[in-house]
Amino acid sequence: MLSLNLSAPGSRLSVLCLGAHSDDIEIGVGGTLLSLMTRGVKLDVHWCVLSAVGARETEARASAADFLAGAASQTVETLSFRDGFFPEQGEAIKSWFEDLKARVSPDVIFTHRRDDAHQDHREVCRLTWNTFRDHFILEYEIPKWDGDLGQPNLYVSVPAAVLQRKIDLLNQHFATQRSKQWFDADTFQGLARIRGMECRAPERFAEGFFARKLLML
């Protein structure tokens, strides 16, 4: 399998992370971000959570601070769009996206998957593509009871120690989610093991992404 590097150790990479809810970015791309920083890539991260109110905002900010502790720079935005009603708030969310576009021009954007079963996730993905039309966009996946996982076409290998760090931080920061049947270490490790098997990752674990458009020169 041909390997491509997002960025070499010591180089800078500007990243925009978009998540509908407080734990989405961590679940979908947390291992990738931690792996890049472990490799010595200098990340400039703009981290946006569109629905984070009350305890969920506290969780989001504390978690982002730990996940991005090794970043070269970080900006964390938490917003208060109503959970579960993103399609009905499309105009307001679109306006926010247009404002964001005027403020950032990242090298890579991580967003939700187009075919995600959660309506909030799909709306974030739709507006990501609608707003950022000349950017490198990777869609991440969120496991859930809907059984909507797809077939990724791009993988990022995650070292075992880095995956454990991701899982530890998820368990540490998201007390509001621990009662959910799917939110546990077995789920996160199991999915990473499957993705690692699919790409023959050196340490057996990986995160999977969906790359809709890629330009090679």
- The percentage of residues in the chain with a pLDDT greater than 90, rounded to a whole number, is 93
pLDDT higher than threshold 80 for residue 215: yes
CA dist 60 and 63 (Å) reads: 5
For the chain, the structural domain boundaries read 12-210
CA dist 80 and 157 (Å) reads: 33
12-210: CATH topology is Rossmann fold (3.40.50)
- Token pair listed for 174: 């998201």
Mean pLDDT, residues 6-14: 91
User: 4 or 211: whose pLDDT is higher?
Assistant: 211
pLDDT higher than threshold 80 for residue 4: no
DSSP SS3 for 68: coil
Q: Which band of pLDDT confidence, cut at 50, 70 and 90, is reported for residue 5?
A: confident
Strand residues in 56-129 grouped as ranges (E): 73-78, 108-112
Residues paired with 46 in a beta bridge: 16, 75
pLDDT tens sequence across 153-200 = 999 999 999 999 999 999 999 999 999 999 999 999 999 999 999 999
Radius of gyration of the chain (CA): 16
pLDDT higher than threshold 80 for residue 1: no
Strand residues in 62-204 grouped as ranges (E): 73-78, 108-112, 136-140, 154-157
